[in-house]
């Protein structure tokens, strides 16, 4: 029997709600958190394109949870900014559901799906395995096929057709996820967008120990930046790394005043 968190009289179906359905055989809490983060990244990216507003201009509220098989989370988008009209919310919900459905069926870019949205959709499909065989989306008018690795294949084909541009520049953000297994890289989360930027450092003068000491610190990375025509950064081939001081390492106002007085 479904266990609803909303009252029986509440409207919990329709074009203004997005249902996220999964039927796991076995799933850990860590996997569920990663799955949720990936899905949130996808719907926030599409929301930004639909509303032409920052990714945090729309929040997603869980209005109902059904614990029967499949487990269903029903989400309602709500504008946070006054600049985002509520009338856009059904368009947003439909864009997510119909976009995933189209991408699952054929290698064609859905409306409002940026390169980042395509990457998140691809990541979403990789959660489907013997422990989580069923994963799908629906809204009032659209039900996606069960997600499969075909979604990732189609997304990769669309991304591969996009022209890649390169220039020398700098990115700033918080450094996380250092990896030296196979491809040597670290991730920087952009200060403005919060998006993950992969930074390759194989062949550079940047030492692994230097990167390790910079984990969870704000950094500046200089190097060759690969990006799409839309301006979305694909990766950075890092050449220089600068670590910014923490707040408690900055000089106090009195110290600065003393230096200026001298």
Q: Which of 195, 197, 192 is nearest to 235 (CA)?
A: 197
Average pLDDT value for the chain: 85
User: Which CATH number fits the domain that encloses residue 237?
Assistant: 2.40.50.140
Same domain, 32 and 145: yes
Domain with 203 in it? 165-248
Query: Residues 198-223: what's their mean pLDDT?
Result: 92
Is residue 257, in this structure, part of any structural domain at all? Answer: no
Among 110, 137, 161, which residue terminates a domain? 161
Q: Is the pTM of this model over 0.75?
A: no
Same domain, 171 and 80: no
Q: What is the pLDDT of residue 14?
A: 63
Is residue 90, in this structure, part of any structural domain at all? Answer: yes
Q: What is the pLDDT of residue 5?
A: 41
Kindly state the percentage of the chain with pLDDT values over 70.
87
Q: What is the pLDDT of residue 1?
A: 37
Q: What is the pLDDT of residue 4?
A: 43
Same domain, 25 and 145: yes
Same domain, 62 and 171: no
Tens-place pLDDT, residues 62-101: 999 988 888 999 999 999 988 899 999 999 999 999 999 9
pLDDT band at 259 (very low <50, low <70, confident <90, very high): low
């Amino acid at each position: 029997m479904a266990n609803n968190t909303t009252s029986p009289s509440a409207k919990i179906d329709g074009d203004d709600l997005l249902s996220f359905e999964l039927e796991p055989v076995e799933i850990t809490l860590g996997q569920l958190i990663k799955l949720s983060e990936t899905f949130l990244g996808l719907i926030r990216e599409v929301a930004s394109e639909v509303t032409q507003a920052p990714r945090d201009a729309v929040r997603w509220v869980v209005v109902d949870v059904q614990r029967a098989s499949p487990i269903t989370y029903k989400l309602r988008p709500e504008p946070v900014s006054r600049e985002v009209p509520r009338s856009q919310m059904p368009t947003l919900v439909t864009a997510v559901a119909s976009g995933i459905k189209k991408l699952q069926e054929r290698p064609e870019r859905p409306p409002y799906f940026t390169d980042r949205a395509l990457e998140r959709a691809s990541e979403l499909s990789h959660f489907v395995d013997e422990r989580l065989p069923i994963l799908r989306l629906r809204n009032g008018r659209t039900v996606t096929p069960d997600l499969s690795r075909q979604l990732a294949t189609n997304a990769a084909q669309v991304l591969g057709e996009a022209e890649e541009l390169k220039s020398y520049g700098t990115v700033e953000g918080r450094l996380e996820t250092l990896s030296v297994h196979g491809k040597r890289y670290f991730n920087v989360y952009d200060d403005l967008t919060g998006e993950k930027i992969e930074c390759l450092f194989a062949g550079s003068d940047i030492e692994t120990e230097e990167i390790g000491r910079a984990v969870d610190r704000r950094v500046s990375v200089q190097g060759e930046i690969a990006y799409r025509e839309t301006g979305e950064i694909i990766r950075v081939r890092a050449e220089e790394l600068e670590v910014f001081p923490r707040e408690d390492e900055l000089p106090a106002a009195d110290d600065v005043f003393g230096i200026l007085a001298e």
